Amino acid sequence: MPIQPTYKKTYSRPSKRPENTPVFQSDSSGKEKDSETGYHYFGARYYNSDLSLWLSVDPMSDKYPSLSPYNYCVWNPMKIVDPDGRDGVCKVNNRDKKLVITANYYVRTGPELRTNKEMRYLYSPKDVKKIQKSINEQLNNANYTVTDGEYSGYSVSFELNFISVDKSDYDGASIGLHDYFEGVNIGNSFEKLPDGEFFGDENDRLAVGKTDKHRGIIMNSKYDNKRSRVHEIFHTLFYDNDDAPDGIGNYTPGTDYPNQNDINKMINNPNLQKVLIDE
C-alpha cells in the first residue's frame, strides 16, 4: 500500500560533518548549543549563557531605536515571543482596511535544459516565474478577508516574490538573512530534493515538504506541486497547524487550500509582524 504523504513543520537537514567541526546540541533553552564555544544559537544571533549576554545586536534593532540593540523580546519574554529572531511581514493599510502579506523566496535554480540526474532536482528560471504567478494568483483569487480579531473586516492579499539563484551561489542557511522590509526580515530559501529517507518521519510517513525555522523550504520532488508549495509557504508565515481537519493542514481535495480559519490564525499570530504603510 502506498504511503500517505504528510507534513512536518520543522526539520534539521542531514549533512556530513567535517572533522573538527563544532557539534550543536540542544539543552533546556530549546536552542542549539555549540559544544566548543558554549554559545547558544537562536537563529539570528548567538547568546553567551555564562555571561547572560548576546554576542551581536538584534538584526531588527533599527526598528526599535529606544531600546538597547542587545535586548530580547523587548525586555518582556513572559508575554512576547521571538522563536528565531526573524519575522514574516504583514503590511497594514488602516485607511483602506487592507493587509498585504509580503515575503521573498530565493529559489535554487539551474539551467533550462537539465541533462543529468542532479539537475532534475533544480528549478529552471521559467519554473520560478511560473511558481510566482500560480501561487499569487491562487491566494489572491480567493479574496480572503479576516473575520476575527483586531483586523476583522480587513481584506488580505499576497505579494510573494520568487527570485532565481544559481545553484553555485545558493546557500540555504544564509540566503535572505539581510533582506528586510521596514526592519523586518522577509527573506526565505526555497529548493527541492529527491524523494527519499530525508522526508520520512518516525512513523514511516513521507512529507511532501519541510520548512526549517519558518524560513527554509525544501520540497519533496515527488510531491512538488502548487498545493504543497502553498502549505510550506504558510509555515514561513508562522502558520503551524498540520493535520488540521480542513484547510491547508489537511489532504481532502477541494478543501486543502487555506480556509477562513487558516487566514484568521495567520493574521492574528503575534509572530507575523505588522508594519503600517498608510502613515
Helices 125-140 and 226-236 pack at an angle, to 10 degrees, of: 80
**Residue 208: is its pLDDT beyond 50?**
yes
CA dihedral 61, 67, 69, 74 (to 10 degrees): -80
DSSP single-letter state for residue 16: P
Using CA atoms, how far apart are residues 277 and 235, in angstroms rounded to an integer?
Answer: 24
Which residue segments constitute the domains of the chain, with CATH numbers given? 27-75 (no CATH), 86-276 (3.40.390)
Q: Is 101 exposed, middle or buried (0-12, 13-18, 19+ CB in 10 A)?
A: buried
Q: How much of the chain, in percent, has pLDDT values that exceed 70?
A: 65
- Of residues 99 and 112, the one with the higher pLDDT is 99
Contacts of residue 36, defined as CB under 8 A and 6 or more positions apart, other chains included, come to: 22, 23
pLDDT at site 151: 97
Q: Give me the chain's average pLDDT, please.
A: 78
pLDDT at site 176: 84
What number is the average pLDDT over the span 2-31? 41
Q: How much of the chain, in percent, has pLDDT values that exceed 90?
A: 43
Using CA atoms, how far apart are residues 51 and 68, in angstroms rounded to an integer?
Answer: 17
Neighbours of 148 (CB within 10 A): 13
**Residue 5: is its pLDDT beyond 70?**
no
Pairing assessment for the beta strands 155-166 and 98-109 based on DSSP bridges: parallel
Contact in structure between 85 and 40 (CB atoms under 8 Å): no
Tens digit of each residue's pLDDT (9 = 90 or more) over 188-205: 999 999 988 888 766 666
What number is the average pLDDT over the span 198-227? 85
pLDDT at site 192: 94
Using CA atoms, how far apart are residues 222 and 174, in angstroms rounded to an integer?
Answer: 26
- Please tell me the least confidently modeled range out of 31-45, 60-74, 106-120, 253-267: 60-74
Using CA atoms, how far apart are residues 279 and 105, in angstroms rounded to an integer?
Answer: 27
- Of residues 83 and 257, the one with the higher pLDDT is 257
pLDDT at site 115: 65
What number is the average pLDDT over the span 65-84? 52
Using CA atoms, how far apart are residues 244 and 262, in angstroms rounded to an integer?
Answer: 10
Q: Which residue has the cell 504603510?
A: 277
What number is the average pLDDT over the span 116-127? 84
**Residue 256: is its pLDDT beyond 50?**
yes
pLDDT at site 3: 39
Global confidence as pTM? 0.69
Neighbours of 276 (CB within 10 A): 10
- Of residues 86 and 253, the one with the higher pLDDT is 253
**Residue 156: is its pLDDT beyond 90?**
yes
Q: Which residue has the cell 509582524?
A: 273
Cα angle: 104, vertex 17, 233; to 5 degrees: 20
What are 265's three cell numbers?
A: 490564525
Contact in structure between 168 and 109 (CB atoms under 8 Å): no
Tens digit of each residue's pLDDT (9 = 90 or more) over 63-74: 455 556 655 555
pLDDT at site 113: 67
**Residue 186: is its pLDDT beyond 80?**
yes
Q: Which of 220, 238, 276 is nearest to 97 (CA)?
A: 276
**Residue 16: is its pLDDT beyond 60?**
no
CA dist 231 to 28, 41, 239, 249, Å?
Answer: 30, 27, 9, 7
pLDDT at site 42: 59
Cα angle: 5, vertex 11, 202; to 5 degrees: 55
